[in-house]
Amino acid sequence: MMDHVDKTSVLNKVTEPAPPGADGSLPTAVITADILKSESYNPLLLLQDQTASPAAIIVSCPHAGRDYPASMTDKAALDVAEMRGLEDFGVDHLLGNLPATGITCVINRIARAYIDVNRAAGALDSAMFDTPIDADKPSRQVTAGYGLIPRLSAKRDPLYNTFLPAEEVDRRLGLVYRPYHDMLASQIASREQDHGQCLLVDVHSMPPRDRTNRLLADIILGDCLDTTLDRDKAQSITEFFKNEGLRVVWNDPYAGGYITRAHGKARTPKQSIQIEINRSLYMRDKAMSAGTPKLDISKAHQITQMMGRLGAYLVEMQTDAA
């Protein structure tokens, strides 16, 4: 089912996210094949401040994308509104104060329903395709329906009612997955060369409650169960959020995904952390429950300011550790 394509919403500047609506709404766009091929379109955003000295920190934002390729929506059993639950709603709009601290942000514009860049390249459900494909042994996420190419929506409705062609794997990997990971690797290598170290911060959002209706913390920090970040840094980051008046939990229920594991190892120059932000801190609650995600503009501004303070804090922490 294909929505009308508004080219003005697609061909926005590639240096910043498309602004939310006056009511906090987060616009989506269905991207035609012609637009995807256009030099005016880039599936990645790189947020940098050219006047700031580059810090030894890279922020990754893999799941906030709101661009839906038409090649997917034409085949999908659901419309875009029903697929949006897989998005990390509006996280890209919380990062705007980070570049001023010297932090570079790498943002994926393509929706997670199309491809999940926070999965291994072989994390595929072979049963989704019309001919055999190369796939890793099914992981827990793949079995649950949320592999590299998701099978289900957030409400566990099938995204497709037909098999996908096997060539769709390479098409989706080539459009955004490989460019995203190449960009992360390049930025991390540059910081390690300049500073001798780099911290990757992978930023996500989460619903207020988990699937068992348990109320989640304000911030959940993940280091893949103490394997990607030194303990002193973990304690320092915990103290920052607690000083902001927020309730912090480590590794439960989100311990860190593929990006965190791939780009960080404790007691080495390259470390990483995943940050999950509770959507109740910056979203309009009624809009979330109605399936029409909208930022609470005032709350989102406060979290954006807090993220700027976090950025300055992390830069100082990294400088002290050098």
pLDDT confidence bin for 125, thresholds 50/70/90 = very high
Q: Identify the pLDDT of residue 2.
A: 33
CA distance 25 to 315: 32
Q: Identify the pLDDT of residue 87.
A: 97
Region 214-235: mean pLDDT is 97
pTM for the model = 0.93
pLDDT digits (tens, 9 = 90+) for 174-221: 999 999 999 999 999 999 999 999 999 999 999 999 888 899 999 999
At 174, the amino acid letter reads G
At 86, the amino acid letter reads L
CA angle 96, 247, 47 (to 5 degrees): 15
pLDDT confidence bin for 15, thresholds 50/70/90 = low
Q: Are 278 and 208 in contact (CB under 8 A)?
A: yes
Q: Are 144 and 160 in contact (CB under 8 A)?
A: no
Instruction: Average the pLDDT over each of 5-19, 121-135, 234-248 and give the range with the smallest value.
Output: 5-19
Q: Identify the pLDDT of residue 211.
A: 85
pLDDT confidence bin for 322, thresholds 50/70/90 = confident
Summary mean pLDDT of the chain: 93
pLDDT digits (tens, 9 = 90+) for 77-89: 999 999 999 999 9
The CATH architecture that domain 7-321 belongs to is: 3-Layer(aba) Sandwich (3.40)
End-to-end CA, the chain = 52
Q: Identify the pLDDT of residue 70.
A: 97
Q: At what angle do helices 231-243 and 297-321 cross, to 10 degrees?
A: 150
Please count the other Cβ atoms lying within 10 Å of the Cβ belonging to residue 291.
12
CA angle 90, 219, 260 (to 5 degrees): 80
Region 1-29: mean pLDDT is 62
Q: Identify the pLDDT of residue 13.
A: 35
pLDDT digits (tens, 9 = 90+) for 287-306: 777 778 999 999 999 999 99
Nearest CA among 15, 82, 86 for reference residue 48? 15
Pseudo-torsion of CA 295, 301, 305, 307, nearest 10°?
A: 0
Token pair of 139 as six digits: 């992981």
Q: Identify the pLDDT of residue 17.
A: 84
Region 71-98: mean pLDDT is 96
Nearest CA among 223, 202, 214 for reference residue 276? 202
Reduced to 3 states (helix: H, G, I; strand: E, B; else coil), residue 264 is coil
Region 301-314: mean pLDDT is 98
